[in-house]
Amino acid sequence: MLACILAKQGVSTLLLEGASHPRFTIGESLIPETGLRLRIVADKYGVPEIGWIGTFHKLRDHVSSNCGVKRSFGFMYHRAGEENRPEEINQFGTLAPPVGPDSHLFRQDTDAYLAAMAVKYGATFHSQTRISEIKFGDEVELLADSGRTYRAKLLIDASGMRSMVSDQLGMRDEVPRFRTDTRAIYTHMTGVKSADLLLDAGDRRRLMTPLGQSTMHHIFDGGWMWVIPFSNHRDATNPLTSVGLMLDRRKHPNPQGEPEQEFRRIISAYPTIARHFAEADAVRPWIRSGRIQYSSPHLIAPRLIQLPHAAAFIDPLYSSGMSVLIVAVDLIAEALLKAVADDDYDLERFRFVEEVVNRGFDHYDAIVSGSFDSFASYDTWNAWNRNWVMGSLLGTFGPLSLWMRYRKTKDPAYLHKTTEPSRMGVLGSHLPGVVDVVQASRADLDAAIAGEISHAEASQRIFARFRRAEFLPPYMGFGDPRKTGTATFTLLPGARHVMWYRRHGDPIYRENCDFPLLAYARDGAGFVLGEARQSGRRTLSALRDVFFAGNRDGRHMAPALSAHRHLLTPVQAAAAFDDELTGIDAADTPRSMA
């Protein structure tokens, strides 16, 4: 993403990849705040392809039908030896069109697509390029295993857990600062049935949205599982489901047997989960980690900026890493474009990036570590997860309000407000009221863990605090233990949220949660009409092809092929640019053919 942005703005950009695409990676589920910020970044820097990643329908139509749809978060609580109790299913809805819904990213497709877009916008891309040595001075010098040397004014490290730069400069904490302490077992599988089939018909009808169209979480004392289906919509072309088991190392400290053996042994204690995976088979090798957390006090050094996943990681719960990442991409791009213009890469230009990212990670750690502690009892889990729902709601409405004002006025000033300190945080971590509620709830949970109060009493205190929170709409039921589906965000409920904050919110929350409803409704109508037009075009095209052999589709394909010619292999290019599409200048020869 960052290479796309920099190259589009005319910055000389070199993108080095140690492996090659396509490739497997975790980080496959978007959340509303992340998807929305992807669309903001796309408009802000003129790279629409980044925005296509941020919403399901554009992702399906423009990038890959191998990705899944995400209409909600679903959580099933489990007790050892018992079937799930349907009343212990929690849901939280994602944004509906025109902004949502969110997506399950089949990363081998989306990452390869963005790499290709970086080339389209002018970046130089070298894959299968391993770096053996890095030198920092007046410039950065990178020596590849091949013997080739690369030089740059600034290095952006996106290499993740095994960051060579972190090791070389000693940037990591020896012991991660995070309270969360977990390990992972994960793979891709086939034969994973929809979670809806685990319930009877009556219980399915009571759900906010189908569990099969959610990022599904199985919750139990000692851990949780993600279930991310890519085959959960009518246009799906991918039979796979991403499956991962996150284990609390305080209760599951050491690996037991082979990864799949340990996975099967643990889920066998929970009958509903065992049924979910009774017919499932892995299609790639299982991956098992040690402690998955790592942290760094700093993300910047002379001539260096680290992206969040190179500096720190907490846990995949709530897709925390992806959320922090897109915030950082926006901040870095904004600061770096100014630095390039001034030819000045002083550390102070990027200090705000470090502050926001570290605040975001620490806030997420409080939410995630508290979640693992709350798994000991459904009472505490049912109460504690409202802290995340609160942050997700308010963290999403802030950028949504600015983006909708931009959509109405086309004034780019609204897009640039998204990086103002008073608006820049993940899960509402920039809002004092949100932070205060989380910290007080954490204290209640700690008291229960210490045996000073019961888990039931901790739950009651947390719910009572939510009932007193003046910046949360009472009708959403944050303080009601029986309301396990907090809200939907289709057009009318979304309008209700906005109107409540207009009438009852204090100035901070009113500004954060208010946006032009007519513009939102207009975009919703535009989305419906666009889908109808696309369906009509497909129908007419099918009718034509049934009756007529000749057509003039070449007229429409020529601009598209020309725009994406850099994506074609020599064989594909030769087939595409046939006699019908002559006249392309020799200077436009695809790079892959040169």
Report pLDDT for 25.
Answer: 85
CA-to-CA distance for 270 and 453, rounded, in angstroms? 28
Global pTM reads 0.90
Residue type, 576: A
Same domain, 399 and 477: yes
* Banded pLDDT at 320 (limits 50, 70, 90): confident
Question: DSSP 3-state assignment of 182?
Answer: strand
- Residue 418 contacts by C-beta under 8 Å, 6 or more apart in sequence? 37, 40, 44, 330, 399, 402, 403, 424
Same domain, 506 and 557: no
Same domain, 315 and 418: yes
Residue ranges of E strands in 105-212: 124-126, 131-136, 140-144, 149-152, 155-157, 182-190
Could you tell me the CA-to-CA distances from 438 to 100, 295, 383 in Å, in that order? 27, 21, 11
Same domain, 13 and 107: yes
Same domain, 349 and 460: yes
Domain count, the chain: 2
Mean pLDDT of all residues in 290-294: 96
231 in any annotated domain: no
Q: Where does a domain end: 492, 515, 538? A: 515
Backbone angles phi, psi at 293, to 5 degrees: -80, 145
- The strand order across the sheet containing 300-301 reads 155-157, 304-306, 300-301
CA-to-CA distance for 214 and 102, rounded, in angstroms? 9
**Tens digit of each residue's pLDDT (9 = 90 or more) over 329-360:** 999 999 999 999 999 999 999 999 999 999 99
Burial 199-211 (b: 16+ CB within 10 A, else e): beeeebeebbbeb
Q: How many residues does the chain have?
A: 594
On whether the CB atoms of residues 295 and 172 are closer than 8 A, the answer is yes
Report pLDDT for 558.
Answer: 54
391 in any annotated domain: yes
**Tens digit of each residue's pLDDT (9 = 90 or more) over 106-135:** 999 999 999 999 999 999 999 999 999 999
**Tens digit of each residue's pLDDT (9 = 90 or more) over 204-245:** 989 989 999 999 999 999 999 999 999 999 999 999 999 999
Residue span of the structural domain in which 580 resides: 552-594
Omega within 30 of 0 (cis) for the link into 101:
yes
**Tens digit of each residue's pLDDT (9 = 90 or more) over 499-537:** 999 998 788 888 888 888 898 899 999 999 998 998 898
Nearest by Cα to 188 from 262, 82, 104: 104
**Tens digit of each residue's pLDDT (9 = 90 or more) over 424-470:** 888 888 888 999 999 999 999 999 999 999 999 999 999 999 999 99
Same domain, 38 and 103: yes
Same domain, 494 and 559: no
Q: How many helices (H) and strands (E) does the chain have?
A: 21, 18
CA-to-CA distance for 276 and 210, rounded, in angstroms? 15
Report pLDDT for 547.
Answer: 87
Same domain, 591 and 486: no
284 in any annotated domain: no
Q: Where does a domain end: 499, 515, 531? A: 515
224 in any annotated domain: no
Question: DSSP 3-state assignment of 387?
Answer: helix
Same domain, 435 and 316: yes
User: CATH no. for residue 352?
Assistant: 3.50.50.60
Same domain, 502 and 566: no
Q: Which helix (H) or strand (E) holds 513?
A: helix 507-513
Mean pLDDT of all residues in 178-199: 96
Same domain, 508 and 577: no
* Banded pLDDT at 559 (limits 50, 70, 90): low
176 in any annotated domain: no
Report pLDDT for 239.
Answer: 96
